[in-house]
Structure 1
């Protein structure tokens, strides 16, 4: 009996250790072959993920008194003043503040301006790119983890600063529960202010080095929310939470990049105007488990005549931490990390290569007016630049006018454009609703849910939008249609359908018919242009039950944009757009914005 007990105990121990150390498995493998498209490289475009030709100088700047890190102590190349952030972060108080002050050697009235810099060598003035980390154990310093971005962009002629905000991150005693978000954004602006002082000082080594009319702010996690906050604060005269703190920034911030961002840590929903925006998100991000950057994407609008773009990049298999080399494979520390299912993830090298390609393309678009819109609408345009991964793209720009958004009312039969009428035939499912993330949090975005299944009399289902007065278009226009596959299991099933239930891997296909007022017609078959990705299901932890309990559904609506070129359509006055569901016998389509884009 004693021997049996020992055997069972050893077996349980071995099994437990094996379970904890194994990576897990991929219960939702994706079999998907995207529609090929014209490669940008075949049109003479250079890979924005390749390093450039500039040699690089690396240095740090900061207080020069950091008691934890040599690089911000006697290792600094330039010393910087400290800042009083007490009005922005009144929550810095009590025993938690005292412990932080013992650890760091400073408090809220003397925050440092510490930064790591990768700068192109040689004469000239270079655009400025600042990136800031998010919330992570403050003792495990995060700012060095973006070296791969710093080196990459500096070699391409951009000054990159990785900003140190570790001192307002969480620790064993907790964090500020998002109340520090304004401070995160404000610190970015104070770093730019310091660069302005240097670039304006004729006696300084950095005189005229930074082009303060060409700035991009980037952030990861809470930093991805801090960057839009900074962009909004940049235009304000006062801190909105305390007018005793005056602002006077007005820097030339041209773009924002939010990497796996939070969105609701700051109580204010930031709306941005006339700025370029991009957000990247991984499907296997168990820290920020939904594409919260898409909410900010929707809160970017354009009111002037300049060109701007906004892009969303959703990377299946990417996680939260691998965007920062020092955070890495696990989106959390022990013991929780041992439960994470990392087997389905792409590698760090693959994830960072995708980031470099898209960040490089965004930088080229914003700073050098290079047109990488084909990459922002369809990853297959850069298939020879990217590792093999399923990448979904959403895109719009200031040359796009909305025809349909589903945001205007609750009438299913009316569209956004004045006078537009919606009608349907033979649909099994038709409604408009606010999309939700996997945990039932709102995406703050309305869409139409359209479902069909061929019936016994073989009627073809249609969803038709009629612009009664017509819309002037020509061969320089395209249609941007943002949509996603829905849950086909929600359709009513008969006995013949039972075998088809579950996770469908079949391609969803249909036609889109466009007519003009004179009777002209153009017909597009979806899969000839761009196949829609299957629903991307994930299991964040090794135990399926824990996944559902902690994260919610295995999938969430993840939109992607399809661009239909009208250059060969001979449509002169757009009258109708009709979705004709004559290819796939059954399906559910989530239809979001339809826009008319003027191609340059």
Structure 2
């Protein structure tokens, strides 16, 4: 009885399951089939874009087709599995359509989450795009069932609407181009009036040059470092710094951490030499997309000017989706740069080498991009990280005279940061850098110091419409891999060639100045307007300081009255007056304390100088300081944010475009004073505001707040020759200079001031 009952029960369950499964796809007909196709296409597009951003090294076609094949299998299997579950539950809905929707939605969320969306952002946007795709499929099915005449009419309407709105994207992208041209024209007029014309340093020099490579002689992917290498270099053992070298990385490169190659691309001027040398090193990009050939435009230019340029290959230290990134990669990048110097010394002593006797190791420069920029500074400050490494070249055998950081990183390594002394430093950063959104080179700039009478100097340039990747010709125009680059797209970027024009101009001028003692470009580093005749039209901000600069106050102490020995300060009618950290887009300190001043209507700030604070002034000095216009902050903060009326807010916005109204007054010990508008020397440009995404609400979702704020305070160095004030009031005696006052004529306003001092004429 019990046996017969169990058999009957099993048969009933089996029959019930069979009946339910037999109609699994019965409802997936008509317009639902169009929805399934649309969802499959959505998943294919997402996977194809992801595959392009996750290269295997076998080529884009392989990556895309392999991804599409795997996705199609997964789409069918997973959708069918969900269909079976729905059928067993007995829900009377289009089951395979539901299964494909769930699969596509989960896939879209995973892709977006991996593309720097947060969890909730990925769920929100992933769900939205899946619903839209399914809806488009349903709409396509509905249209397909229409009569032909109605389909033609609908198509005509769609074409008319699309055509009428075709100019909208161009309208969105319009705006600052004309302003930039106007600003550039104004700047050129000012510079021409001051007689600050200089030759274009981006123009080729007089040297012929040749290009070749050196390498290990064995490279699985690049013959120029394999059998076609002109010079064979030694491999180096980095196992003391690398604890894990994945087998996939080993298989891709054909070597492990015990035999890292020393590969370099060389641009060498013709002639006996010896020539200065610059080592250029890329940053962290996808390992499978090689980066070292991306600075050929700099190598060719520098070689034509009599400087040996070498692009160092460190691709095997870069990130791979499949094998991660080596631990301590920053130390490795710096260490390998030093190893290259050692290898070049061996080449230079070898009579059979094309390098023989050609390199001047007393004139070495290091240039790095992104992580390479930090590595260049770390290699220069080598004692901090490699104090006992006897395998590195003797420090006395070479001299690094200058360091360049193109959009460099600045992370703590072993709890330390590099500090440079009596080494010239240049850093360039784009305000639309969607990879390193903060100006990290500004931090290293602050950690460069000089002793008296050194010829070294430091300079920085902040470029409104530049991004991260376009400094390297191999990295493309976007700072993010697919599919994230579809969403992170700042508007109005410089054209790639224009951005590289900025790099060529400043890198060439800087290396000619520091390695060849050419003083003709001094005005370019002190005032970017000296180069506006050959620089692309955009806004620039620059800082400059030389060994001749005499600092009066850096506002690093907590006492806002007594700034230093013999220097005191007072303020009138200010709503805020404090020494505080300059902060980046995430609200983190930039490692440099400045003076923050805020006023509602009018105000003033005065610094009193006793004779011992300045000393004997043999020449008429130049008053120098760095200032950041922070007016944009006022609309979002107390005490003004909630108090501004609509008219006041509109007035503030209008005035932000015009710049602050500030006067500067200097006075001597007898009380004779002269006052001039700051705009007579240079306008106080508002901060650069950058939006990195184009979809509503995406700024706060992506990258865990990486794009939280649209700007950060960036300093501009101002130079005010005291002779200009003496011309305004002949009674003023610059040699008895005793006071400087900043008058803020119109409010509300906010600035940050730093590095107040003077320099000989």
TM-score surpassing 0.5? Answer: yes
Q: Secondary structure at the match of 2:360?
A: strand
Q: The residue matched to 2:562 in structure 1 has which SS?
A: coil
Task: Give the conservation status (yes or no) of the 8 Å contact 1:125–1:209.
Answer: yes
Cα distance change on mapping 1:394 and 1:544 into 2, 3 Å: farther
Deviation at 1:501, TM superposition (A): 4.9
Aligned to 1:480: 624
The alignment status of 1:363 with 2:511, answered yes or no, reads: yes
Residue 560 of structure 1: how far off its partner (Å)? 1.1
CA drift at 1:26: 5.0
Q: Which runs of 5+ in 2 are unaligned?
A: 1-28, 36-133, 141-157, 727-732
Instruction: Label 1:116 to 1:572 Cα distance change in 2 as closer, same or farther (>3 A).
Output: same
- Per-residue CA deviations over 1:207-264 (Å, capped at 9, x if unaligned) read 111111101100000000000011011x57x725x76866633421100000001100
Q: Is the 8 A contact 1:134 1:223 kept in 2?
A: yes
Secondary structure of the 1:37 match is helix
> Which has the higher mean CA deviation after the structures are superposed, 300-309 or 331-340?
300-309
Quickly say closer, same or farther: Cα 1:228–1:178, change in 2 above 3 A: farther
1:258 counterpart = 2:400: no
CA distance in 2, matches of 1:266, 1:225: 10
Q: Which residue of 1 aligns with 2:92?
A: none
Pairing partner for 1:521 from 654, 668, 673? 673
Distance 1:579 1:328 in 2: 45
Change (3 A) 1:578 1:392: same
**SS of 1:183's equivalent?**
helix
Q: Look up the match of 1:497.
A: 648
Q: How many positions carry a matched residue from both structures?
A: 580
Higher helix fraction (1 or 2)? 2
Residue 592 and residue 140 in structure 1: after superposition, are their counterparts in 2 closer, same or farther (change >3 A)? same
Indicate the structure whose relative CO is greater, using CA pairs within 8 Å and at least 6 residues apart.
1
Aligned partners of 2:696 and 2:549: how far apart in 1?
Answer: 42
Larger radius of gyration: 2
- Most deviating of 553-562 and 40-49: 40-49
The equivalent of 2:225 in structure 1 is 72
Name the TM-score, length of structure 2 as normaliser. 0.72
Contact kept in structure 2, 1:464 and 1:578, CA below 8 Å:
yes
Q: 2:248–2:323: 8 Å Cα contact kept in structure 1?
A: no
- Equivalent position of 2:332 in the other structure: 183
Does the CA contact (< 8 Å) of 1:193 and 1:249 recur in 2? no
Residue among 496, 504, 520 paired with 1:348: 496
Q: 1:376 to 1:10 in 2, by over 3 A?
A: farther
State the 1:41 CA deviation: 11
Q: 1:12 to 1:477 in 2, by over 3 A?
A: farther
Does the 8 A contact of 1:516 with 1:573 survive in 2?
yes
List alignment gaps of at least 5 residues for structure 1: 455-459
Match of 2:76 in 1: none
Aligned partners of 2:454 and 2:548 also within 8 Å: no
In structure 1, how many angstroms separate the alpha carbons of the residues matched to 2:193 and 2:346? Answer: 40
Q: Deviations over 1:134-166 (max 9, x none)?
A: 001111000000011001111111100000000
Q: Could you give the per-residue CA deviations for residues 310-348 of structure 1, whole angstroms, max 9, x where no partner exists?
A: 011100110000000110211121110111224321110
SS in 2 for 1:548: coil
Q: 1:112 to 1:23 in 2, by over 3 A?
A: farther
Q: Distance in 1 between matches of 2:528 and 2:256?
A: 46
For 1:378 and 1:26, how far apart are their aligned partners in 2? 29
Q: Aligned match of 2:211 in 36, 49, 58?
A: 58
> Taking structure 1 as reference, are residues 554 and 425 closer, same or farther at Cα in structure 2, changes over 3 Å only?
same
Q: 1:40 to 1:70 in 2, by over 3 A?
A: farther
> What is the deviation of 1:463?
0.4
Name the counterpart of 2:26: none
The reply to whether residue 577 of structure 1 matches residue 740 of structure 2 is yes
* Aligned partner of residue 297 in structure 1, secondary structure: helix
Name the CA shift for 1:263/1:77 in 2 (closer, same or farther; >3 Å): same
**Cα 1:2–1:542, aligned 2, differ >3 Å: closer, same or farther?**
farther
Q: Give the CA deviation at 1:370.
A: 2.4
User: Residue deviations 1:520-578, cap 9 Å, x none?
Assistant: 33323111101122121101122242223431101111111111112343411221110
SS at 2:306 equivalent: coil
Partner of residue 426, structure 2: 278
1:65–1:498 Cα change, 3 Å: closer
CA spacing shift, 1:25–1:65, aligned 2, 3 Å: farther
